[in-house]
Amino acid sequence: MFGNSKFFNQYPGKDITEADIKRIFQTFDANKDNALDKAEVKNLVESIATSGSLSAAELDKIYAFLDKDKDGLVSPSDMAARALPWLSVIFSGPVAMVIVDVQNDFITGSLALKVYPAKEDGANVVPVINDVIAKHSAAFKTVIYSLDWHPADHISFLDNLAKRKLSDKSKIKDAAKVGLNDVVVLETKAYGPIEQIMWPRHCVQNSSGAELHSELKLAGNHTKVYKGTDPDIDSYSAFWDNNKLKKTDLHDRLSKLGISDLIVCGLATDVCVGSTAAHAQELGYRTALLEDACCGVMPDGIAATKAKLTAAHGVVVRSGQLNELLAKRDRPMAWVLAAVDCVEKLANGGH
C-alpha cells in the first residue's frame, strides 16, 4: 500500500455512493483547488491498491479515464461520472467462479493430463475446488461448470481424420502421416479451412468420459455450459469457439447478473482454462487464475498462460488467498487497473 493507505479500509463490500465519491475527492485534493492533478490521482490509485506498482503509462491511462471532459484535470463532475462505477467494481463488484472441464477424460481417460509433459494429475484440482466451494460459495453470485461436449464426428478426433479432407493450406499433406498433437488444416462445409490440433477421442456427448469427476462438488447456485458441440470447429474457451465464429451463452448469463470479477480454474491451464481466461479479459472481466485448482499440459504453455494473463492485468492466486481477494480487502494494482477496462467495456457494450 502507498499514499493514504488506511483511508480505503472502510469501503470493501460497501456500495459506493455519490457522497463517498465527494469525500474521496476532497480527501485526495491535497492543494484544495477543486481539481485532481496527476500527482493527486497517483496518490489516490496507490492508496486503493494493497500490492503492486503503478507505471507512468498506467497512471496516464487511469488519468485519461477519470478526466471525462478532457480538460487536463479531474473535476468533481469527472469523479462522479467515472470514479463511481470504477470504485464500485473495486470495492463491491459481483464475483463468479468458472470451473473449466473437470471431466473424467482429462483425469483418468483418453486425455489424462498426468501422461503429458507437465505430469500434472487432474484429480488434484478436485479437493481444492471442493474446499473453495465449501468455504466461499456465498461470495460467488454464480458458479459455472463448463464441459467439453463433443459429437462423435468431432473435427478434433484423430480417428475421424479419414472421414475429412486435408486442406491445401495444411503443412502436413498426407493424412497417413498425421499423429496425435499434430496441427493440420481441414476443410469444412460450414467454415472453410479450419486449423486443428489432433487429439484422441474424448468427452463424447453422454459418455462416461464426458462426465464431471464423481467427487467434484456442485455449488448450490451452479449452472453448466456445454462447449465444442459443433462437429466442425473446436472450442477451448467457455465463451467462444477457437475461431470466434460462435459463442456460448456464458457471457450473456454473467452480464445479466452484473458480474465484474471471475475466478477461473480447472483443466487444462494452458488450453481450455487459458482460453477461457483470455476471453474473459477481452470482454472486460477482472480475471483471476486459481493456480492450485488448475493442471496443465506443457510446462512452457502453463508459464505462457500465466504471463499472458498478468500482462493484461489479471492476477494469479492460490486458494489460501481467496478470502481477502473476495472480500475486496486484497486489492492488487493489476485489478485496480483492470477495473478501468471493466467499466470502459461496460460503457461500450462489450461486456
Please give the positions annotated as active site.
Answer: 101, 227, 272
Q: CA 47 to CA 121: how far, in whole Å?
A: 41
Inter-residue contact 248 to 276 (CB < 8 Å): no
Instruction: Please give the backbone phi and psi of residue 133, each rounded to the nearest 5 degrees, phi first.
Output: -60, -45
In sequence order, what are the beta bridge partners of 264? 98, 289
What lies within 8 Å, CB to CB, of 334 at 6+ separation is: 52, 310, 313, 314, 315
3-class DSSP state for residue 348?
Answer: coil
Q: Which three cell numbers stand for residue 5?
A: 493507505
- Strand order of the β-sheet with 261-267 is 222-227, 140-148, 95-100, 261-267, 286-295, 315-317
Q: How many CB atoms lie within 10 A of CB 179?
A: 9
What is the DSSP pairing of strand 192-197 with strand 183-188? antiparallel
